[in-house]
Amino acid sequence: MRRIELDPRPDWERTIKQSGLIYSHSVRDDGSAVDYWSDGAAYVFTLPEVEDLEKQTEELHRMSREAARYLASGELGHLGLSPQAFELAQWSLEQDEPDVYARFDLAYAGDGTPAKMLEYNADTPTGLIEASVTQWFWLQDRLKTGAVPVDTDQWNGLHEALVERWRALLHRSLTEGEGGRLFVAHSDADIYGEDWDTVAYMRDLAGEAGWEHTGIEMKDIGWHHGARQFVGVPEPWGSSRSVAALPGDEPGTQYPVIRNIFKLYPWEDLVSGEDRVIGDQEFGALLIAGRGLFGRWYEPAWKMFLSNKLLLVALWRLFPGHPNLLAAYADGPNGLTDYVVKPVFGREGDGIHVHRADGTVTSNGKEYRREGVGRERVWQQYHELPDFRGSNGSNHPVLGSWVVNDEAYGVGIRESDGPITDYFCRFVPNIIEG
């Protein structure tokens, strides 16, 4: 793998927004804007590198599924969850509830050494539309202008894989008598538009697969006390293919019963109820108490095992010394001199502290809003991200390797100036040289 630089496309900001990527800037605390999309650079893979990374990704996925079963045994406690939430995740894993997608974060230098797993984003992975659509259109434009050779390809089969996955899930839902309607939910607390953009794209994918789809905010998911079912907002009677509908409060309206829902919302928040509506503790309790009664939730509750950083500890216990893993412990550094301390829950580098042998400690200055119930932490061996120097200085890439239905289908690359991939990283497209 190598990094190249090109002239940015004319009017590239308008172009990426037309592809659906609306969150093109991040804003620092001092008010300065940072471009999220890097139009004038690309990471170049050889085909053997891609094939090897696909194999490594799929092996890590199989290992992670085994580690999920280890975590479900209780060997590492309740993983910062309440006992009730932990039992819900156990039950979901036992039922083998179907999932949609996930993303590994990998450190990879392209020098012949194996990729190193940093973490697994398997519950609410974002960065989807830029990895699937935006960088694909970037490549088509580059091919048209001759900026890259005509035989240039891209490691990117995400769109087709996700449509096929949603098609399979639709067939399953219809077979089980749960209907062909999918609710797609996110939180209005998202201030950048990334969550909204992700769920909008997921609706497009599901629609292409044949689903009837309805957007909804998490706070608008209702509970029908009489029917004891989760419902969407009122709508005209008979306006959908819902398998079940309940009379609305107004004449001529109905409450559609939610039997299939994709939610871009962390399970650790969902089962608590605390962040959905202030003071609403009922939501999570209903989900826990009524497991199996409320249709399909995507991602399923067993993803609480894969999205939890204690997964790293389980993997190291089960596969010590594996070339794709970094040493990880739940009770301290255990002799590590360069290590990273991570909260068991976390997003965008929040709460991560990098400890070096010289005594220095680096963080992004933010703590994740939710700690485990026992302030659980993971100590993971520090692995230096490669530095692909460019005209802008240091570029430290992390590969987001996507998994759909147990197979690897593409990569999204984010690079940062420093050792922690944070809110101010840059997305850089990839190509495969012919």
Residues 118-156 as b/e (b if ≥16 CB within 10 A, e otherwise) read: bbbbbbbbbbbbbbbbbbbbbbebbbeeeebeeebbbbb
430-432/41-45 β-pairing: parallel
Q: Which of 89-98, 190-199, 226-235 has the lowest mean pLDDT?
A: 190-199
**Mean pLDDT of the residues in the chain:** 90
Residue 348 CA to residue 81 CA, distance in Å, equals 20
**Mean predicted confidence (pLDDT) in 251-265:** 94
Q: What is the pLDDT of residue 210?
A: 97
Concatenated DSSP letters of 66-121 = HHHHHHHTTTTTTTTS-HHHHHHHHHHHHTT----EEEEEEE--SSSSPPEEEEEE
Average pLDDT of span 187-205: 86
With pLDDT > 90 as the criterion, what percentage of the chain qualifies? Answer: 72
pLDDT digits (tens, 9 = 90+) for 59-91: 999 999 999 999 999 999 999 998 999 999 999
pLDDT at site 417:
86
Q: In 3-state terms, what secondary structure has residue 160?
A: helix
Predicted local confidence at residue 347, as pLDDT? 64
Q: How confident is the model over 139-151, as a mean pLDDT?
A: 96
Number of residues in the chain: 434
pLDDT of residue 276: 45
- Helix runs in 260-371, H state only: 267-270, 282-289, 303-306, 310-318
- Kindly indicate the confidence band of residue 196, based on its pLDDT and cuts at 50, 70 and 90: confident
Q: What's the rounded Cα separation, in Å, for the pair 212 and 428? A: 33
Which helix (H) or strand (E) segment is 1 a member of?
none
> What's the N-to-C CA distance of the chain in angstroms?
13
* Beta carbons within 8 Å of 379's beta carbon, 6+ residues apart: 328, 329, 330, 331, 332, 333, 334, 336, 339, 340, 341
Mean pLDDT for the stretch of residues 90-99: 97
Which pTM does this prediction carry? 0.93
